[in-house]
Amino acid sequence: MTPKEAMHLAIAEGKKGAGFVSPNPLVGCVIVDRDFNLLAHGYHARCGEAHAEIQALNAVADKSRLEGAHVFVTLEPCAHHGRTPPCAEALAKLPIQSVTYGLLDPNPRVKGQGAALLSKAGKEVSEFRELHNELEELCEIFLINQRRKRPFVAMKVAMTLDGRIALPSGSSQWITSAESRAQVHYLRGCYDAVVAGVGTFLRDDPKLNARDPRWADKPHRVVLLDPEGQAITKLEGSQLLKVRDPSHIYVVSQAQKPSGLGVHQLQVEIQGGEFEPSALMQALQAEGLQSLFVEGGARAYTSLLRAKLVDRLFIFIAPKVLGEGLVWLHALGVESIDQALCFQDVRVTTLGNDVFCECSGLRG
């Protein structure tokens, strides 16, 4: 393998842990022998379980082939004791020749320390100089958590060609194709919690769970944004409670109300009828929610975009025109084209007859 092929494989391995490693990062690791023949690969599968480097090492059948071997890992090996021992220490004790990592770990408990420990042990240590965008995307949730000190925010919008998300009556089943809906169920499981506005809850009585078999044993957490406190008395008998434990529901309001349901009630400051965005992020992160998948409605979409808190946007566009109905976004205060919010990185594909657009790198 070439070094680039090895890191490509490490990235692909890391993706396999999506949805299960929070609050840890997605990490993949590849080990090649002294002649760059593949020995093993591994990934961090679940929080609390062995990290990618250890998984890869455990997969090496003939340990004698580690003599002079090279390790490629997507993130700098950890150097601190957490739920598992430090990976850098484990690597330092082996007869390997080099360790190449994709990104420097931004966590102050690690940053540079894993690389330093390995260098001190006589290993050749280097940061990979290619595939930077791919490596950043693999680790994007963790990087936002560390750099911005808030949850990662992904937003999903399903709309018609003329930007409608529902008929004037609120009916929206189904605007998009079965293929698009299947993708949504996969995406829901990739994040710590699904977020919806109270209007969506009151109008649709949705389940908002991830009905993809890959997430069968994962808690389906949901956050209801409820500024006026309308939701708490409507939860009993709702679809939300039928498909999940009450402890996996978080209702955010400006004031708590009596409830014997066992759901979490979070109190967040209101400004102009909306939650103060940074306070909302802090409250959710304090509950251990490191990544959010926002599914509506227009108030939530608008508030988060206006605050530039959207890290990844998924738009499903059906080849349909309604002519009238509910729009997905309200005014953002943009008064000239130069003030428009712009996403720098865009990928476009099709799902059934729908256009699937994935955007990141918000600027504006």
Burial of 121 (0-12, 13-18, 19+ CB in 10 A): middle
Containing 165, the helix (H) or strand (E) segment is strand 164-166
Alpha-carbon span 101 to 7, nearest angstrom: 9
DSSP state at residue 25: P
Torsional sign, CA 152, 158, 164, 167: negative
Torsional sign, CA 117, 120, 122, 125: positive
What DSSP assignment string belongs to 179-219?
Answer: HHHHHHHHHHHHSSEEEEEHHHHHHH-------SGGGTTS-
Q: Which residue has the tokens 């990662």?
A: 152
Clarify whether 276 is annotated catalytic: no
In this structure, what token pair is assigned to residue 7? Answer: 């890191």
Question: Across-strand partners of 73?
Answer: 29, 101
* 173: Cβ contacts below 8 Å, ≥ 6 apart: none
In this structure, what token pair is assigned to residue 130? Answer: 């290619």
The answer, yes or no, to whether the previous bond of 168 is cis (omega within 30 of 0) is no
Catalytic residue among 5, 13, 49, 53: 53
Alpha-carbon span 314 to 121, nearest angstrom: 45
Q: In what order do the strands lie in the sheet with 312-318?
A: 264-267, 249-253, 221-225, 193-197, 291-294, 152-160, 312-318, 354-363, 342-351
**Enzyme catalytic residues:** 53
